[in-house]
Amino acid sequence: MKEYLFSYGTLQKEKVQVALFGRILHGWTDTLRGYKVVFIEIKDKAFLERGEENFQQTLVISDDNNDGVKGTVFEITEKELLHADKYEPDNYQRKK
C-alpha cells in the first residue's frame, strides 16, 4: 500500500534517503499551508550520536493561514514510513 510523507528537512537529501531506505525516493514539491517552522533542542543521545544537529526544525500550526512550509511529498511503503519514524528523535511525532 502506498503512503505519502511530507518532508521539510533532512529526508529531502538523497544521501539520507539512500542510507535510510536503500534508494532515492520519488517525490514532488508541495507546500503545507497553515503551518510554520520553529526550532527545538534535541536531547535524544542516540539521535545526536549519529551526527545530527542539536536543534531540529519542527512544524507548528500557525495563526496566519497565509503561512506555509515548502517541502517534498514522497511516495513510500508502509514499512518505509515506520522506518522513517524510527529515524527521528524521541520527541518526534508524525501527524496525518
Note whether 42 and 54 are within 8 A (CB).
yes
From residue 46, alpha-carbon distances to 19, 20, 23, 54, 69 in Å are 16, 15, 23, 12, 28
What's the confidence (pLDDT) of residue 7? Answer: 92
Domain boundaries, the chain: 2-87
Indicate the pTM of the whole model.
Answer: 0.77
CB–CB of 35/64 below 8 Å?
A: no
Amino acid at 10: T
The CA-atom distances, in angstroms, between 91 and each of 64, 83, 88 are: 25, 16, 8
Q: Cell digits for 84?
A: 522513517
Query: For the segment 47-74, what is each residue's pLDDT rounded down to a tens digit?
Result: 656 666 666 777 889 999 899 999 999 9
**What are 8-49's pLDDT values in tens digits?**
888 999 998 999 999 999 999 999 999 998 877 766 666 656
